[in-house]
Amino acid sequence: MNTTTMRNIWGAVLGLGLAACGPTEVQDEAQPGQQEQGVVLEAGCTQLGAPVAEHTCHHVNNGPALTLTASATQNFPGTSPNINTTHTYYTVNLTGSGSSRVGTVKFTPAKKSADATGTQYAWAFYRNNSTPLVVKSADGSTTLSPVLTHSVSMAGCALTTVSVYNLTGNTTYQLVFGATSSASVGIGAERVEDMRSYYFQDADGDGYGNPSVYKLTACVPPAHYVADDTDCNDSNASIRPGAGC
C-alpha cells in the first residue's frame, strides 16, 4: 500500500468520524493519526479548503439535525439553549419581529482529553444566511474577533458563509445572532483540525507531488502543492508515474 493510499484512508476516516489550519512546511512530520496539542488557524490562511465545507454540508443534507429557539437576551444563566453537539446541523429560531430579530445560544467547545487545560482549537461556524454572528465570552464582557470569514458556494448545499474562531476547550461562549429579518439561522460548528489534508510539493508542475515535502492543512493548499504524492523525481516534469518512474 503506497503512502498516498495510506494518507487517503486516514483522511477519509477523519472526515467520516468528524474540523487548525495554517500550513507548515515539513520534511519529517508526525505520521497520520498522531495529533499535536491543539491546532489553531494560523496567519496566512485565507480560505478553508473544500473538505471542511463538504463535511458540514453532509450534515446539512443528511443530518443529524436539531432545532432550538435562541434566548431573547444575552448573558442568560445556565447552558441552554446551546449548540454543543458537533457533526450536527442546527436550525436556530430567532426572537422578535421584522428586521429586529435576534437570539443568543451558548457553545462549549470540547477539549481533547490528552490536551492541557487552556488549549485552543480553531472552530468553524458555517451558516445558511447572512445573519450577523458575534462570539462573546460567557459573561458577555469580551467580544472575540474571527480569524477568518469568507463566503461559501457549493452545489447542493445551503451554506453561504463561514467564520472561524480560535476557542479554548471546555470554555463556554455566547453566540449572538442578529439583528436580522431572518426568522432563523442554520448553523454547524466543526473543529477544523479534524478535517486537515496532506498536500505535496509539485516543484516541476507535472501534477505529481514529492512525498518527502508536504503540508498538513485544512486551508486551500498553497500554489505548487497537490494531493498526489507519487512523483519519483520532482525536479524533472518528464519523469513521473507512467513516464520514467
**58-90 tens-digit pLDDT:** 999 999 999 999 999 999 999 999 999 999 999
Q: Give the integer Cα–Cα distance in Å for 178 and 187.
A: 14
Q: Give the integer Cα–Cα distance in Å for 220 and 32.
A: 19
CB 66 within 8 A of CB 73: no
Distance of CA 84 to the CA centre of its chain: 15
| Cα separation values, 149 from 42, 101, 118, 125, Å | 13, 22, 24, 9
SS3 101: strand
Residue 184: all three cell numbers together: 432563523
> How sure is the predictor about 141, in pLDDT bands with cuts at 50, 70 and 90?
very high
Of the listed ranges 29-38, 76-85, 88-97, the least confidently predicted one is 29-38
73: number of CA atoms within 13 Å, CB side?
5
SS3 78: coil
Residue 206: all three cell numbers together: 507535472
pLDDT score, position 38: 78
* % of residues, the chain, pLDDT over 70: 84
Grid look-up 514529492 returns 210
pLDDT score, position 36: 62
Backbone angles phi, psi at 143, to 5 degrees: -105, 125
pTM, rounded to two decimals: 0.81
Q: Is the pLDDT of residue 152 over 50?
A: yes
pLDDT score, position 7: 52
Backbone angles phi, psi at 228, to 5 degrees: -85, 135
